[in-house]
Amino acid sequence: MQRHPSDRIAIVSMTEEDLDEILEIEKHSFAVPWSRELFHDTLSFPLAFNFVARKKVDNRLVSYANFYLIRDEVQVLNVAVAPEFRKKGYATGILNHAIAFLINQGGTDFFLEVREGNVEAISLYDRLGFKKIGKRKRYYPETNEDAIVMRLKVDRGTDQ
């Protein structure tokens, strides 16, 4: 198995036309999935950056990710992979792409919240260099779970 299948996917900006496929993945990924309206709002927000990864061979949408970039701070909003494509490196691929892209846009400080019980996601973020910096008590009301707050600080090597 190839760990990072970037040669087999195309990562592009998310569009309205992607939403049917995204919503299908979303409902299989989260206890409280985002609505079409929330994705639509994020797509139209000028400080949002939204990506999808599609398989080159058949154009199937395998993952997506949403971010806000405000000045040099990036908030990771939502990341998901279609159930049949999990544990194949697609989350790593789209996140690496997005992080590099957002660094190019001036992002240096990346933040996210992740369910305390989502061990696989926490492990992924650890591998990408995110560090645990805090906890938000009962952040997820639908499961009463705490959120782990994680941060990735990028040194651009310049005084900006």
pLDDT in the model for residue 157: 64
Alpha-carbon span 122 to 86, nearest angstrom: 15
Assess whether pLDDT exceeds 50 at residue 3. Answer: no
Q: Is residue 158 situated within a structural domain?
A: no
Closest CA to 130 of 94, 154, 157: 154
Q: Tokens at residue 121, please? A: 């996601």
Residue 51 lies in a domain: yes
Whether 91 maps to a domain, the answer reads yes
Q: What is the mean pLDDT of residues 133-149?
A: 92
Q: Is residue 88 part of a domain?
A: yes
Q: Please report the pLDDT score of residue 65 as a whole number.
A: 98
Inform me whether the pLDDT recorded for 155 exceeds 90: no
Mean pLDDT value across residues 100-119: 96
Does residue 54 lie within any of the structural domains?
yes
The enclosing domain of 12 has a CATH number of 3.40.630.30
Which residues have a Cβ under 8 Å from the Cβ of 49 and sit 6 or more positions away? 13, 66, 67, 68, 69, 98, 101, 102, 105
Can you say whether residue 150 is alpha, beta or left, with left for phi > 0 and alpha for psi between -120 and 50 degrees? Answer: beta
Q: Is the dihedral of CA 2, 7, 9, 11 positive or negative?
A: positive
* Pairing status of strand 48-55 against strand 9-13: antiparallel
Comparing CA positions, the residue from 139, 37, 71, 92 lying closest to residue 26 is 37
* Single pTM value for the model: 0.90
When the pLDDT of each residue in the chain is averaged and rounded to a whole number, the result is: 92
Provide the domain count of the chain: 1
Would you say the C-alpha torsion 126, 3, 76, 49 has a positive or negative sign? Answer: positive
Tens of pLDDT along 60-79?
A: 999 999 999 999 999 999 99
pLDDT for 5: 55
